[in-house]
Structure 1
Amino acid sequence: MERGKISKILDISWRFGVTTASNDCDNVAKSFLQLKLCLEDDGIVKNVFIEMTIGQFYKFLHDLEKAKCNIDLLL
């Protein structure tokens, strides 16, 4: 996916998880979220996978809400 190019979102699926075992004790019991975005770009469909911490997810959600408000102002 090229930078600056806009793809159409066809589907979003997500999965929430908790790390139960790790070589690093600090990572045990940490929550995470996995997103699967199904995108269409010039007729080509591709899946993009993203994993983020809960903190990163809340920042992502905040940014989406901010973008929606900006789009609503334009319409």
Structure 2
Amino acid sequence: MERSISKILDISWRFGVTAASSDSDNVAKSFLQLKLCLDNDGKIKNVFTEMTIGQFYKFLHDLQKAKCNLDLLL
């Protein structure tokens, strides 16, 4: 199976805090909404995701690790 690699055109994000919820464990929890605008062989696609702050820091760490690995190859 052949996979194509998408090019990231734009990234936008929003930070928020849950003010009210039917689940009291979720009140006052921080979250981050991320929108990626991708170009996949000329076809533009928006990808949306929401993550906790902990998940965001893990994602950021993984991106930094990937960048270091790519830097070693170049």
Q: In structure 2, what is the equivalent of residue 69 of structure 1?
A: 68
For normalisation by structure 1, the TM-score amounts to: 0.93
Q: TM-score, normalised by structure 2?
A: 0.95
Q: Which amino acid aligns with 2:11?
A: I
Same amino acid, percent of matched pairs: 82
Query: Using the alignment, how far apart are the partners of 2:71 and 2:49 within structure 1?
Result: 27
Query: Partner of 1:50 in structure 2?
Result: 49
Between the two proteins, the alignment pairs up a number of residues equal to 73
Q: Distance in 2 between matches of 1:4 and 1:33?
A: 28
The runs of 4+ residues in structure 1 deviating greater than 4 Å are none
Runs of at least 5 residues in structure 2 that lack an aligned partner in the other structure: none
Once the 2 structures are TM-superposed, how far is the Cα of residue 4 of structure 1 from its aligned partner?
A: 4.2
User: Which blocks of at least 5 consecutive residues in structure 1 are unaligned?
Assistant: none
